[in-house]
Amino acid sequence: MATLPSSADPLVIEDLTVAYGSVTAVDGLSLRVRAGEIYGLLGSNGAGKTSTMKAIVGLVQPASGRIRVAGRDPVSEDMAVKEMVGYVPETALLYDALSPREFLEFVASVRRLRYDDYGSLVHELVGALQVGADMDRPLATLSNGTRQKLLLVAAFLHRPRLLVLDEPFNNLDPRSVRIMRDLLTAYVREGNRAALFSTHTVEVAERLCHRLAILDGGKLQGEGTLAELRTMIRRPEATLEDVYLGLTAEGEATTRAMELLRGKA
């Protein structure tokens, strides 16, 4: 296993650009996630959240810019970065023919984990998320929620330095959301850990994240704590939803959509 520099920030992104052909998904994004922090990426569909996360875990190559995970480069030191990161993709695309037990065995094996390291954690998570009854059923036959829970268990398995969670609460029942929220909050408090968390649900971001970045059209529109973001729009009493609509073009788009639905257009 790679030796990890503990002093470096869990995640530093500088001037990141991700492009698919002529389409620029992320445009000059810079941000820093500190140890002990849950950092939220808030934005509508197509804002660049998923592309940013894919670049961090090595699923897409940045067109330009720099990413460092605990001081390591995901492009030239991909194995070291993968050792440190736990990733939950936006869509639970897995080996459908495997059962949850077989899938977790595969992930634990390729991560070279010892049973002592993960056994009790798996037991607790599987029990808390109520996946136990489905451990031997093929993933293809399971609900999206159960698959999502399994991805969350797999992401925690090796106690990663950085959790990269792309809409991780999609399809989860309220009870599981609560459990995962508490777990995540407790998890980042120890061991120089942090989590990058994307969502388009304002309430989740408001409750969970220490700091937030608001993305729109691949660009950073604002960054900071909720208080700092309120200052940016000069409305001290504003909710995160107000801040979000204030910083993006969506406030205007929403008003326009309402007018169309009322038949005023």
Partner 1 sequence: MSVEIPPASYTERAPLGWRGALRIAEVVYDEFSFQSIYALKQGNSSVYLEGKRGEGAVERARRRVAQSKAMVAFLLFMVISVGAIGLRTGAGGLGLTLTPVDYATSLVAGELLLIFSLLWMTGLQVAPTLLGSKVFPLLATLPLSQRDMRRVGFIVFLRIFDAPALMATFYLPLAVGLATGSVLAALVLLPGTIITVALSCAISLVTARFFLLRVSGAEGGTPGSLALRWVYLLLWSLPSLAITAFVAFSLQILDVLSFWEASNPGAFRTMLLLYPFPFAYLTSLAIYPSLDIYHLLSAPVMWLSVALYAAAAAVSVHWLRRAPVDLSLAVPRSSRGRRAGDSEVRTDSPSVAILHKDLRIASRTPGYAFLILLPLLDAFILGLSTMLSHPDPAQAERFAIAAVTVAAMLATFFGPAFFATEVMGFSFTRTLPIPRRTLLWGKASLILLVYVIASLLVMGLVAARIGNPIPFAIFALAELPGVLAASFFELGVLFHKAEKTGIPVVNLYSGAWWAMLVVFPGLLVAGIPLLLYLLGQNYDRALAVPSMVVSALLLLVATAAWALWGGRGATEA
Binding-site ranges for partner 1 (CB under 8 A) = 2, 20-21, 54, 57-60, 76, 78-80, 82-83, 85, 87, 89, 91, 93-99, 101-102, 104-115, 118-119, 122-123, 126-127, 130, 132-138, 140-142, 151, 258, 261-263
Minimum gap (Å) between residue 176 Cβ and partner 1: 15
Minimum gap (Å) between residue 138 Cβ and partner 1: 6
3-state secondary structure of 13: strand
C-beta of residue 202 within 8 angstroms of C-beta of residue 240: yes
- Lookup: tokens for 177: 């959301």
Strands 85-88 and 64-69: unpaired
Minimum gap (Å) between residue 20 Cβ and partner 1: 5
Q: Which is nearer to partner 1, 24 or 231 (CB)?
A: 24
Minimum gap (Å) between residue 213 Cβ and partner 1: 21
Which of 143, 138, 165 is CA-nearest to residue 153? Answer: 165
Q: Which is nearer to partner 1, 225 or 235 (CB)?
A: 235
Q: Which is nearer to partner 1, 27 or 134 (CB)?
A: 134
**Hey, what long-range contacts does 187-193 have (CB within 8 A, 24 or more apart)?**
187/156, 187/163, 188/35, 188/36, 188/37, 188/38, 188/163, 189/36, 191/159, 191/161, 192/6, 192/10, 192/35, 192/36, 192/161, 193/10, 193/35, 193/36, 193/159, 193/160, 193/161, 193/162, 193/163
Q: Which is nearer to partner 1, 194 or 212 (CB)?
A: 194
CA 52 – CA 149 distance, rounded (Å): 22
Q: Which is nearer to partner 1, 58 or 222 (CB)?
A: 58
Minimum gap (Å) between residue 215 Cβ and partner 1: 18
Q: Which is nearer to partner 1, 159 or 210 (CB)?
A: 159
Minimum gap (Å) between residue 97 Cβ and partner 1: 4
